[in-house]
Structure 1
């Protein structure tokens, strides 16, 4: 169990974490025909929008209530009403997710009361679902905002229904990419189960060219599917951040659940497939038995390079646990672990200490490490320390293909091992080129004719 230590610096120098409103908005982007709205100033929204666009390289639907100095003092009801009406008229979303910011939370606005008043005054909004998420950006981090949004979506939109056998809910954490969620869907469907994924960014942020354009999200979990989640026979969450949403679903619809702390690595995937086999009554398909043997071989090949290395990681809690646990299983020492917020995941991390801090904390402690793992804001740190950097998490803006990276399941874990190992090999070749001279080619065989 890792001991959690909070950095006592007076200010953040090189930020590791991003804000709660951005995490909540990201969750909303996994809903079909949805418009996430940040209730705050235009700057709050524009900075988050830039990060999302640079990471996914896609058009991102994100709106703001555009609070200014006057409305911050006198109250932002008119801004909320105007924003909702304009969005309804121009984009006609089926769902609007309103996320608060530090500005409006500090002001102490009654947003729930605002939305109730808008409903009574403007009946044209009756065909649009409104979901409010409290996400002050002066506390918590990206993962917290995502967690709160998932819970609010379930609490607002899910109703109890008769149980549909072989229908299961999948609640993916924000550390899973669209490619990860596609892999998750494929695995569950291979057992003959019908998954409802909430939220599903694999249908909205997977980098596809849509034949139509609309101002809202293009794909994701539909409103009908969200409502159908109340009739599922079981709920599976991936990441500790999904526990609150799964518990809310259980309290509303009585749906039993199980949370898998990670799906990166051998043992958690064994447990996951065993659970799916139990739920479906079917044996594990031969395809995944083959993939498991390939993963074991990849772990054998890769541990010659990862065994004994010192790694420094900076990530959101569930991602830190997923990658850190795999590295420890591959023989690495988790010398430096820096995270963004408190989480039950830290208790499961095979490290001595987790620091809640920034990338400066990570840089100061990582001078003797062999590998750095964090998002793209760690690239200057890697250059100063002359260490290899593996980019993970959000944002990754100096590489393309982030939507299609897969790091879960047997196949995704194998890809992750190859990525880490090849990065280490490249560093060895760079530092010791003489040790990597290709051996001379064998002499050609003489012909017997």
Structure 2
């Protein structure tokens, strides 16, 4: 019987090493090195520069056809020497590409050989993340690099047997925007914590204008703080789909740091739950501080309800973001008619179907934009919510696209879009309402206005 293969056209995800590279840019004085072909680094630079509008240097071992037979050891060692000479990093973040993983490169052995050549353990710390794209998306690479970084940079095995320090680990496992990362640091400080946000690229990929070129931009989670993550009071991690990939669970198992898992705080209900969780582990009440802004969100919900009620939305992107946005849609009266992610996520379909109740929600896991486009043609979609890559579908349907997530490369400031918390929810809701109003204005043959 002849096997049949279904091609993926324009997948709703990027490559795994891209996610790892983003993590490495969130570590102080860390430089990313891809062990693979040169084109992989070029592709990733293109996406990161387009989204963050900042220069992004990425080294490559530039292995070629002969490496498939003889291995890429010499290329890797040369790349390491070049990186150390030009950039002098404290950490070298290595991510392997499809080619390196396919031919079975032993990067740990290469690093051991480099150490032996140097005559000891002097020099940078190496973080090694296996990230072939045939085994996952950019979200998988992001989580893999977080785990690898914690394993390499958080010393010892605490097991709960040593004194706790007055820190709280805040794990960014969602490819959050720079503005959302800054919000997290402010919020946890207001709650009476000393937060260690990791990875934190809010300054390294969104800094001020330079007067001269900087090879490794300032910013990133400080290394001295990362060394304290194993003795923190607790770890707060956002997400409902991590399972075995949970970096917070890793810190709990290895170092005995208690884990507090929360959903992504988009929408009033999700933010209420999040604020409640912080109050239970914190020293200061937050509800009263945010009572006024919460009330403004509810007032704006009432003002805009007539524009959004019953609108059918296609939500797409990383699984955690899709679930959070779908929950937000239900909260304001919209229907998340199509929910799509490029990742194969256990439990994704079941959770969204429970969320939808008796509403008919089409859930696409491991989806491509081709899948989404075909599904959207007969679904009566009024609005898209997701990254810039869905614009072709939105234009074909003649509906607006509210940009959120990664990548946003066709608008300025996409890396500063805030969606977390009450204020982020307020901004997101206003953008949704205004997009729908603008669509009606453009369609109307008359001088459209609203009261």
TM-score by length of 2: 0.91
Post-superposition offset of 1:307: 1.2
Post-superposition offset of 1:438: 6.7
The superposition leaves residues 328-379 of structure 1 with CA deviations (integer Å, 9 ceiling, x where unpaired) of 1111111112211123562433344421211111111112210122322222
Post-superposition offset of 1:389: 1.3
Change in 2 beyond 3 A, CA 1:124/1:394: farther
Post-superposition offset of 1:241: 6.3
Change in 2 beyond 3 A, CA 1:410/1:97: same
**2: CA distance, partners of 1:414 / 1:9:** 44
**2: CA distance, partners of 1:202 / 1:345:** 31
Structure 2 residue aligned with 1:236: 236
Structure 2 residue aligned with 1:348: 351
**2: CA distance, partners of 1:400 / 1:155:** 36
Structure 1 residue aligned with 2:434: 422
Structure 2 residue aligned with 1:34: 30
Of 378, 383, 396, the match for 2:390: 378
**2: CA distance, partners of 1:376 / 1:240:** 25
Structure 2 residue aligned with 1:103: 99
Structure 2 residue aligned with 1:148: 144
Change in 2 beyond 3 A, CA 1:123/1:270: farther
The answer to whether the Cα contact below 8 Å between 1:207 and 1:403 also exists between their aligned partners in 2 is no
The answer to whether the Cα contact below 8 Å between 1:159 and 1:253 also exists between their aligned partners in 2 is no
The superposition leaves residues 229-277 of structure 1 with CA deviations (integer Å, 9 ceiling, x where unpaired) of 1121010012246662111111222100112121111122112222222
> For residues 19-418 of structure 1, what are the structure 2 equivalents within 5 Å?
19-123=15-119, 126-160=122-156, 162-210=162-210, 213-240=213-240, 244-284=246-286, 286-344=288-346, 346=348, 347-349=350-352, 350-351=355-356, 352-355=361-364, 356-367=366-377, 368-418=380-430
Larger deviation, residues 196-205 vs 275-284? 275-284
RMSD: 2.0
Change in 2 beyond 3 A, CA 1:212/1:308: same
Q: Secondary structure at the match of 1:262?
A: coil
The answer to whether the Cα contact below 8 Å between 2:178 and 2:206 also exists between their aligned partners in 1 is yes
**2: CA distance, partners of 1:240 / 1:27:** 20
The answer to whether the Cα contact below 8 Å between 1:338 and 1:354 also exists between their aligned partners in 2 is yes
Q: Secondary structure at the match of 2:182?
A: helix
Stretches of structure 1 that go unaligned for 5 or more consecutive residues are: 1-7, 440-449
Post-superposition offset of 1:192: 1.7
Post-superposition offset of 1:391: 1.8
**1: CA distance, partners of 2:436 / 2:119:** 60
Post-superposition offset of 1:188: 0.8
Post-superposition offset of 1:213: 4.3
Post-superposition offset of 1:425: 0.9
Stretches of structure 2 that go unaligned for 5 or more consecutive residues are: none
The answer to whether the Cα contact below 8 Å between 1:34 and 1:93 also exists between their aligned partners in 2 is yes
Larger deviation, residues 192-201 vs 155-164? 155-164
TM-score by length of 1: 0.91
**2: CA distance, partners of 1:433 / 1:297:** 31
**2: CA distance, partners of 1:437 / 1:353:** 34
**1: CA distance, partners of 2:281 / 2:212:** 38
The answer to whether the Cα contact below 8 Å between 1:159 and 1:252 also exists between their aligned partners in 2 is no
Considering Cα pairs closer than 8 Å and 6+ residues apart, tell me whether 1 or 2 has the greater RCO.
1
**2: CA distance, partners of 1:33 / 1:125:** 18
The superposition leaves residues 107-133 of structure 1 with CA deviations (integer Å, 9 ceiling, x where unpaired) of 011122222222122248722010000
The answer to whether the Cα contact below 8 Å between 1:173 and 1:241 also exists between their aligned partners in 2 is no
Structure 1 segments of 4+ aligned residues over 6 angstroms from their partners: none
Structure 2 residue aligned with 1:4: none
Aligned residues: 432
Change in 2 beyond 3 A, CA 1:50/1:417: same
